[in-house]
Amino acid sequence: MMSYTLPSSPAVDGVMVDRRAASFTTRSIKKESKLAALELAVSMIDLTTLEGADSPEKVRSLCRKAVRPWERDEEFLGRRLGSVAAVCVYPSMVPYASELLEGTGINVASVATGFPSGQYPLDIRLRDVERAVADGATEIDMVINRGAFLSGKYEIVAEEIAAVVQACGKAHLKVILETGELKTYDNVRRASDIAIEQIREEDFIKTSTGKVAPAATMPVTLVMLEAIRDAYRTSGKKIGMKPAGGIRTGKQAWHYLCMVNETLGEGWLSPDWFRFGASSLLNDVLRSMQKLQSGEYAAGHDFSDA
């Protein structure tokens, strides 16, 4: 077992976190800025399918949507809309996604490491990662062992994250905290600090698997953004952030972008540093863009499902 010293995490003032997170929902944004924010949000989305009924055909459909999110973009925008950031699938589906997305610049992400429980033996989780990377995954979304964390066995959590970093090779890592099971903001901050200490620059911390409620919330995301900010200020290490689950509307997306901008700065307003894990978000963002351009919302069925 590695020699491990627990990072010194500050206590979180929950009242202030709730109040500040709520303040981002009241920001007034001009029409031109809204359109730019929505287009940026599209570029930050990780389109995801993580169901037991997933099939190669479903993954191929998701990949086509990732490459061309809006079939009527030129009609309403006068130009082609860019692609999403990544397609996220189970390890068994990585070869299909990798084949379709080759040369597109879209990342292939895979939820290896015993997703969503994180309770598999470590050697199995590491083999899961290595296989996904060998099959073409450029990003790995791992989930921490919440049982170990909540039992105070922080050195085990840190050791496992470090081992997954090694197994990833050149692939980027996103560490899922599953904040809905951590219960308190102090736990979220402590888990964030442990993860940030073990991962590399340009890796991410992520709120949720999407399988546990509550998933991403603005206060929890703010706590994690502040951990990233503090690490950058003290060490210069720059870490990405991914809220996942529960973000469904274009309006919510630009609230999150306001929070990122005011907490971390414009340097994080890029898919290299911020992602949305929310497949259902994409079509509402597109509907919001059409509303801004035409004055009318399109029906949900006017946009293809991934």
What is the tens place of the pLDDT at every residue in 149-161?
A: 999 999 999 999 9
Single-letter residue type at 205: I
SS3 label, residue 212: coil
Which residue from 92, 32, 31, 93 is spatially nearest to 62, judged by alpha carbons?
Answer: 93
The pLDDT confidence band at residue 85, using thresholds 50, 70 and 90, is very high
- Supply φ then ψ for residue 143, to 5 degrees: -115, 135
Task: Give me 230's structure tokens.
Answer: 């503090």
Catalytic residue among 141, 193, 203, 284: 141
The pLDDT confidence band at residue 305, using thresholds 50, 70 and 90, is low
Q: Kindly list the domain boundaries of the chain, sorted by start residue.
A: 28-300
pLDDT at residue 303 tops 80: no
205-264 pLDDT, tens digit each: 999 998 888 889 999 999 999 999 999 999 999 999 999 998 999 999 999 999 999 999
89-135 pLDDT, tens digit each: 999 999 999 999 999 999 999 998 888 888 889 999 999 999 999 99
- Report the distance separating Cα 221 and Cα 207, nearest Å: 7
186 counts as catalytic:
no
* pLDDT at site 280: 86
Counting every residue written for the chain, the total comes to 306
Sign of the CA dihedral running 74, 77, 83, 89: negative
* pLDDT at site 28: 81
* β-bridge mates for residue 141, sequence order: 174
E strands of the chain, at which residues?
A: 46-48, 86-89, 107-110, 139-143, 172-176, 204-206, 240-242
The pLDDT confidence band at residue 301, using thresholds 50, 70 and 90, is low
251 counts as catalytic:
no
Q: What class does CATH assign to 28-300? A: alpha beta
* pLDDT at site 294: 87
pLDDT above 70 as % of the chain: 97
* pLDDT at site 201: 96
* β-bridge mates for residue 110, sequence order: 89, 140
- Report the distance separating Cα 155 and Cα 71, nearest Å: 49
Sign of the CA dihedral running 69, 71, 75, 79: positive
141 counts as catalytic:
yes
Averaged pLDDT, 266-278: 96
* pLDDT at site 29: 80
* pLDDT at site 174: 98
The pLDDT confidence band at residue 278, using thresholds 50, 70 and 90, is confident
* pLDDT at site 306: 57
CA dihedral 214, 220, 224, 227 (to 10 degrees): -140
Catalytic residue among 46, 174, 203, 242: 242
Catalytic residue among 65, 135, 206, 284: 206
pTM, 2 dp: 0.94
